[in-house]
Amino acid sequence: MRTEVTHDDHRDPDGQDRPTVGVEEEYLLLDPDSGLPLPRVDAVRAAAGLHPAVDHAELQHELLQAQVEIATPVCRDLAEVGGHLLRLRHALAAAAESTGCRLAACGTAPYAEAVPPAIVDAPRYHSIRRDVSRLADEALINGMHVHVAIPDPQTGVAVLNRLRGWLPVLIALSANSPLWYGSDTGFASWRTVVFGRWPISGIPPHFADAEDYRRRIDHLLAAGLIRDRGQLYWQARLSSRFPTIELRAMDVQLRADEAVMLAGLVRALVVTKLREHAAGRPLPDRTPESLHGAGWHAARYGTATTLHDPESGLARPAADLVGDMLDHLRPVLAELGDTRAVVPLVHRMLREGNGADRQRQELAAHGRSGLITMITQQSAAD
């Protein structure tokens, strides 16, 4: 779990109503035949770094040598996000091919050996391995992180509080991790379950204000419960280095256009919650146990059954709730020019299934080799 993105400046010169956005994606490196993770990140990064369209700083290590991470530059619109994701996926896929492996944008490793995977040889990662023991061995999980600019920490905390009820909906839409070590977990997002076992994880608590946020994190540091602010593994948090709010609830997406769609949903949510805060709208009255249960339910079932209303916490048909979400965000999506990049793709996902649904369908129809081919082809944006 890397600490931060490499974005230089998320401030929009035209003001906060059109905040900038940036995306991080984590990928696995798989053997093309067996689908097993291969520890080749250094070779892949070296090969991709030679590509004229790739800045080496856009490529990052993750905890394990069978993973690689990218970070887009700061973007003002979703077309930029999509262009950068396609560019980086193409370059990394070609680099992986040249080193005998394949790029895989799946939330968990569908197949893996019992032997613990190799840790990246860096002091920080070795210290994490010592601290969390077996959890590091089971960190074959890949997320998608979306950064959206905020005007100041005080406003950021207010938005963070208002986003908590929406995180389970994002988990369900993005679910792309049904398989784990060769078996079907029964969950749509097993990554959410695995990630939730790390300390200081899950849906963040409610904070009174920016000072309360800072004070509580300082206490975690003073108590030795985290080494640095990068070890706040909440599904949403404020960046400690950049003027952004970072949503980390989503599985990485098979398709680049679905990643763009989720980035658009996240930005529209942030802008909508910014405006609700400015208008003094009361916060929803959700208890911690209600939010935790809703997140677990979303990880278990995805969009297949019900989801829990962000305001009331009551269960509703998933398709109905997602439709109401689009209606809720439609004015901001239209204002930002994001409607066409978001709404049709949400409807396509509801119709065809999320990544978890499609992985299961492919495995049932074409077996292990067909599944690995589908994952790697879609990941490479072929």
Residue 109 lies in a domain: yes
Residue-level pLDDT at 349: 97
Residue among 255, 333, 337 nearest 85 (CA) = 255
Distances (CA, A) of 206 to 229, 237, 251, 336: 18, 11, 23, 29
What confidence score (pLDDT) does residue 116 get?
80
Residue 12 reports pLDDT greater than 50: no
Q: Read off the CATH number of the domain in which 146 is found.
A: 3.30.590.20
- Provide the pLDDT for residue 50: 66
Q: What is the DSSP string of 60-108?
A: E--SBTTEEEEEPPPBSSHHHHHHHHHHHHHHHHHHHHHTT-EEE--SB
pLDDT of residue 382: 65
Domains held by the chain: number: 1
In a domain, 277, yes or no: yes
* Pair of tokens at residue 146: 């979306």
Q: Which domain covers residue 204, as residue numbers?
A: 21-379
Question: How large a percentage of the chain has pLDDT more than 70?
Answer: 94
Q: Are strands 102-104 and 201-202 parallel, antiparallel or unpaired?
A: unpaired
Q: Which of 150, 110, 91, 89 is nearest to 273 (CA)?
A: 150
Q: With respect to residue 80, please indicate whether it lies within any of the assigned structural domains.
A: yes
Q: Is residue 320 part of a domain?
A: yes
pLDDT score for 8: 44
- What is the pLDDT averaged over residues 84-93? 95
Res. 327: pLDDT tops 70: yes
Q: How confident is the model at residue 15 (pLDDT cuts 50, 70, 90)?
A: very low
Structural domain includes residue 11: no
Classify residue 30: in a domain, yes or no.
yes
Query: Each residue of 99-156: pLDDT tens digit?
Result: 999 999 999 999 999 888 888 878 888 888 888 888 888 889 999 999 999 999 999 9
Residue 279 forms part of a structural domain: yes
Asked whether residue 324 carries a pLDDT value surpassing 80, the answer given is yes
Neighbours of 210 (CB within 10 A): 17
Residue 12 inside a domain? The answer is no
What's the distance, CA 359 to chain centroid?
A: 18
Q: Is 324 helix (H, G, I), strand (E, B) or coil?
A: helix
